[in-house]
């Protein structure tokens, strides 16, 4: 490929492409910060940043926009190029949305076991799926495919932390702090999030430090994930023994975008607890949220329990990461839970007890 000799038409197209994304952003509203009532804990306020309300239904909408802008401004994407990503879920859905906006073909490299709803969501946004048998092979296959097609591999796991403007530009952290301004405790004591790419925790952690806020960052991590092991011992970089059932978070390998040094605390959460929390919270909010929101809620409940025991007052902010409609046939389906051997009943009771008496067991 000749990148150098005549890049004027290319620059025109890049200008057009960035303009399309900018116009889309200008048409968009910010996501809400929802207060979650906890009458049993009158001195602690809990909020959820509603990332399900993005046009593509998850926090990956922000990431996809940032990855496209980063690639365009780096001169990596040109008119007609095929865009490739290694993702079985929300990232591919959001990236397909932006690829279509720029009239670029989009291919998601996904494990063959990917749920039909996910494949349908990617196809609905105009993308197509390329299946691989071994889930661990998606990265190499995405790289190979992009090279073969003369396309571009967006590589969320490498670029998430650097494609996002961590100092501001209305990133998720800046938006949270602005929306907290009129609350009784405007500077959160804790912000709780999960880690998939690690991009969200990196952005929030850096933003809090940069602005000299006292806010601390907690990552809520599934049992099967390597992230909490790596956080405790940096020599551990892979986890064996299966995948978490919580989509979007917890990884078997430490991703390059995971920045452990900005994280102050890690809470390890059982998958059954995450799913139970997502179900109880969905009933309380009157709308369904995904499993990783449940993981976050468990960590928030533990932190709130500790704050109350220590006589502390303050606020905790976490993230409603994606829409639970995507999990109607899984987390919200008793038959699926039974088939997986997941018993949510004891955990649902614990989460209900937390809301009733303010203590998480
Ligand atoms: C990606 C994702 C996360 C984690 O966000 P990262 O910024 O990638 O660490 C949490 N929940 C859901 C549903 C996700 O898709």
- pLDDT (tens, 9 = 90+) of the chain, 361 residues, equals 445 556 777 999 999 999 999 999 999 999 999 999 999 999 999 999 999 999 999 999 999 999 999 999 999 999 999 999 998 789 999 999 999 999 999 999 998 888 788 899 999 999 999 999 988 899 999 999 999 999 999 999 999 999 999 999 999 999 999 999 999 999 999 999 999 999 999 999 999 999 999 999 999 999 999 999 999 999 999 998 888 999 999 999 999 999 999 999 999 999 999 999 999 999 999 999 999 999 999 999 999 999 999 999 999 999 999 999 889 999 999 999 999 999 999 999 999 999 999 999 8
Query: In residues, how long is the chain?
Result: 361
CA of 251 from ligand 1 middle (Å) equals 11
Strands 152-153 and 44-50: unpaired
196 lines ligand 1 (CB under 6 A): yes
CA of 201 from ligand 1 middle (Å) equals 10
Based on its alpha-carbon atoms, the radius of gyration of the chain, rounded to whole angstroms, reads 20
188 lines ligand 1 (CB under 6 A): no
249 lines ligand 1 (CB under 6 A): yes
- Nearest Cα residue to atom 2 of ligand 1: 248
Q: Which domains does the chain have, with CATH numbers?
A: 26-54+163-357 (3.40.50.1100), 60-160 (3.40.50.1100)
Query: The pTM is what?
Result: 0.96
CA of 267 from ligand 1 middle (Å) equals 16
CA of 178 from ligand 1 middle (Å) equals 22
* pLDDT value for 350: 98
Left, alpha or beta for 171 (phi > 0: left; psi -120 to 50: alpha)?
Answer: beta
Collapse the DSSP code of 218 into the 3-class scheme (helix H, G, I; strand E, B; otherwise coil) and give the result. Answer: strand
Distance CA 295, CA 192 (A): 10
- Nearest Cα residue to atom 15 of ligand 1: 248
Rounded to a whole number, what is the distance in angstroms from the first to the last CA of the chain?
A: 60
C-beta pairs of 107-112 under 8 Å, 24+ apart in sequence: 107/82, 107/83, 107/145, 107/149, 107/151, 108/84, 109/84, 109/85, 109/138, 109/141, 109/142, 109/145, 110/138, 111/135, 111/138
Q: Probe ligand 1: pick from 58, 230, 250, max atoms within 8 Å of CB?
A: 58
Q: Probe ligand 1: pick from 48, 60, 61, max atoms within 8 Å of CB?
A: 60
Q: Tell me whether residue 158 is exposed, middle or buried, using C-beta atoms within 10 angstroms of its C-beta: 0 to 12, 13 to 18, 19 or more.
A: middle
Q: What is the largest CA-CA distance in the chain?
A: 69
51 lines ligand 1 (CB under 6 A): no
Give the position, in ligand 1's atom list, of the atom nearest the Cα of 89.
15
Distance CA 53, CA 226 (A): 29
Give the residue from 60, 265, 266, 261 showing the smallest Cα distance to 172: 60
CA of 197 from ligand 1 middle (Å) equals 7
């Amino acid at each position: 490929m000749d990148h150098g000799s005549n890049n004027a038409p290319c620059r025109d197209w890049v200008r057009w492409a960035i303009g399309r994304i900018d116009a889309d952003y200008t048409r968009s509203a910010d996501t809400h910060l929802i207060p979650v009532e906890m009458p049993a804990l009158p001195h602690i306020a809990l909020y959820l940043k509603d990332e399900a309300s993005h046009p593509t239904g998850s926090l990956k909408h922000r990431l996809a926009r940032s990855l496209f802008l980063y690639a365009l401004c780096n001169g990596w994407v040109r008119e007609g190029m095929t865009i490739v990503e290694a993702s079985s879920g929300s990232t591919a859905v959001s990236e397909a949305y932006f690829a279509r906006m720029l009239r670029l073909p989009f291919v998601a490299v996904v494990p063959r076991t990917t749920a039909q709803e996910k494949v349908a969501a990617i196809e609905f946004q105009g993308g197509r799926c390329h299946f691989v048998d071994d889930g661990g092979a998606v990265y190499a296959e995405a790289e190979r495919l992009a090279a073969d097609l003369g396309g571009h591999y967006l590589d969320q796991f490498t670029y998430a932390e650097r494609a996002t403007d961590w100092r501001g530009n209305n990133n998720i952290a800046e938006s949270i702090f602005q929306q907290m301004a009129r609350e009784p405790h405007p500077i959160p004591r804790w912000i709780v999030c999960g880690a998939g790419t690690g991009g969200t925790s990196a952005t929030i952690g850096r933003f809090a430090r940069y602005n000299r806020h006292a806010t601390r960052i907690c990552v809520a991590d599934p049992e099967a994930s390597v992230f909490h092991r790596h956080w405790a011992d940096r020599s551990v970089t892979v986890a064996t023994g299966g995948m978490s059932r919580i989509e979007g978070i917890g990884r078997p390998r430490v991703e390059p975008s995971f920045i452990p040094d900005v994280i102050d605390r890690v809470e390890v959460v059982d998958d059954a607890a995450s799913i139970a929390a997502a179900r109880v919270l969905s009933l309380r909010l009157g709308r369904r949220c995904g499993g990783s929101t449940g993981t976050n809620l468990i960590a928030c409940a533990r932190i709130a329990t500790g704050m109350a025991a220590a006589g502390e007052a303050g606020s905790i902010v976490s993230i409603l990461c994606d829409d639970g409609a995507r999990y109607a046939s899984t987390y919200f389906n008793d038959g699926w839970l039974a088939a997986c051997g997941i018993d949510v009943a004891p955990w649902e009771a614990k989460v209900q007890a937390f809301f009733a008496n303010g203590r998480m067991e």
